[in-house]
């Protein structure tokens, strides 16, 4: 199960009813934060999401409406008693920005591990704790993070999160392959086992692959030809919808953002299950007034709101 909460759905400047861009994902009690606009930690308190257990922070780009909440949040996390390191993933320049923030935060009790300029890469997250490692490391992992370079006025990353689902133990298969019962538990954990000079592998006792959960996030970008493949078959696609009407297309092109309809077109091409729009222009008072523009293209389109929660479950 993956719990997703929209902490801020505004773009440009905070509004009385909308904080700036931020999403928190809760997976097995550990958290990943996507962007950290102004008001993020206030929204976290209002929605009771907590902040001490944030292990990974993914920043899309370095515009203020996506990062100005970060120094305050890092300070609050430090005051909460956290000592474990936090990973921050971001585009080129993120380290310089964080170093600037740290001038006002000289005594953080935890380490920041900053991964910069990581477009078009994939990371694995260790199962026993949220620690990013290179793909060539042999680890037990049920979560991977992919990045994609987007088309904005500054270097910008999209993120895709894949949660793998463990295969079921197949007793009949284990017996057919004459696997000793004393090694079943290790093989179920994908460990390779040698017993009496015979090697046993997990495929000898496990069933077929089962569908996991996929969430994708792209904000502050024009549509690109790579996005549909990147978000393909996502259970939830969180995408910017800065402009609700096609009448503002000239603004979208000039400022390198998207309209509701353009986001819906990407969702349709990517064959996603559900589109959740965010990053609304301050000029949009009620995004739901424009949602019909998206639904003309992709029916399962929704305008997000601050505090909105979505729960993604594994399908049988």
Instruction: Give the tens place of pLDDT for each residue, 114-132.
Output: 998 877 667 766 655 666 6
β-strand 275-278 against 236-240: which pairing, if any? parallel
Long-range contacts of 125-130 (CB under 8 A, 24+ apart): 125/56, 129/30, 129/55, 130/30, 130/32, 130/55, 130/56, 130/87
pTM of the model: 0.88
State yes or no: 63 annotated in a binding site. yes
Write the DSSP symbol of residue 168. P
Phi/psi region, residue 271 (left: phi>0; alpha: psi -120 to 50; beta: rest), is left
Strands 30-34 and 54-58: parallel
Please choose, from the candidates 213, 255, 257, the residue with its C-alpha nearest in 3D space to the C-alpha of residue 234: 213
CA 10 vs. chain centroid, Å, equals 18
* Pure H helices in the chain: 40-47, 64-67, 70-79, 94-101, 171-176, 184-188, 227-231, 249-255, 260-269, 291-295
To the question of whether residue 152 is assigned a binding role by annotation, the answer is yes
What pLDDT, on a 0 to 100 scale, did the predictor assign at position 93? 96
pLDDT band per the 50, 70, 90 thresholds, residue 316: low
β strands within 122-240, DSSP E: 122-126, 132-133, 141-149, 157-165, 193-195, 198-200, 210-218, 236-240
Q: What is the pLDDT of residue 290?
A: 98
Q: Which of 119, 160, 154, 147 is nearest to 270 (CA)?
A: 160
Domain boundaries, the chain: 2-167+209-309, 171-203
Tell me 184's DSSP state. Answer: H
Exposed e or buried b per residue across 261-294, where buried means at least 16 C-beta atoms within 10 angstroms of its C-beta:
bbbbbbbbbbebebbbbbbbbeebeebeebbebb
Beta bridge partner(s), residue 147: 159
Look at residue 40 and give its three-state secondary structure: helix
- Average pLDDT score, the chain: 90
Indicate which residue of 65, 235, 248, 265 is catalytic. 65
**Catalytic residue at 65?**
yes
Is 279 annotated for ligand binding?
A: yes
pLDDT score at 120: 64
Q: Which residue has the higher pLDDT, 98 or 197?
A: 98
| Burial class, 304, CB count within 10 angstroms (exposed 0-12 / middle 13-18 / buried 19+) | buried
Q: Is 55 annotated as a binding residue?
A: no
Is 302 marked as a binding-site residue?
Answer: no
For residue 167, pLDDT over 80 is answered with: no
Q: Which CATH superfamily, name and number, covers 2-167+209-309? A: Ribonuclease Z/Hydroxyacylglutathione hydrolase-like (3.60.15.10)
CB 118 within 8 A of CB 157: yes
């Amino acid at each position: 199960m993956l719990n997703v909460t929209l902490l801020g759905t505004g773009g440009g400047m905070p509004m009385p009813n909308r904080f700036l861009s931020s999403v928190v994902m809760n997976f097995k009690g550990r958290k990943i934060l996507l962007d950290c606009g102004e008001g993020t930690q206030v929204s976290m308190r209002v929605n009771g999401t907590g902040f001490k257990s944030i292990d990974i922070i993914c920043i899309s780009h370095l515009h203020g409406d996506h990062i100005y909440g970060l120094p305050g949040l890092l300070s609050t996390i430090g005051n909460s008693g956290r000592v474990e390191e936090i990973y921050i993933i971001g585009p080129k320049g993120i380290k310089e920005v964080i170093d600037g923030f740290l001038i006002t935060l000289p005594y953080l009790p935890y380490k920041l591990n900053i991964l910069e300029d990581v477009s078009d890469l994939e990371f694995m997250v260790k199962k026993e704790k949220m620690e990013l490692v290179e793909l060539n490391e042999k680890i037990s992992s049920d979560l991977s993070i992919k990045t994609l370079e987007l088309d904005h006025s500054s270097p910008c990353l999209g993120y895709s999160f894949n949660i793998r689902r463990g295969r079921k133990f197949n007793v009949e298969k284990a017996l057919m392959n004459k696997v000793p019962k004393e090694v079943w538990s290790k093989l179920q954990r994908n460990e390779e086992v040698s017993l009496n000079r015979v090697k046993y592998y997990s495929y000898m006792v496990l069933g077929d692959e089962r569908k996991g959960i996929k969430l994708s996030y792209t904000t502050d970008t024009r549509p690109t030809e790579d996005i549909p493949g990147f978000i393909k078959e996502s259970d939830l696609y969180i995408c910017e919808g800065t402009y609700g009407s096609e009448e503002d297309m000239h603004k979208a092109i000039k400022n390198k953002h998207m309209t509701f309809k353009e986001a819906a077109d990407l969702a349709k091409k990517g064959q996603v299950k559900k589109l959740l729009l965010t990053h609304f222009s301050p000029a949009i008072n009620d995004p739901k007034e424009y949602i019909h523009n998206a639904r003309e293209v992709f029916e399962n389109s929704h305008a997000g709101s601050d505090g909105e929660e979505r729960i993604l479950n594994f399908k049988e």
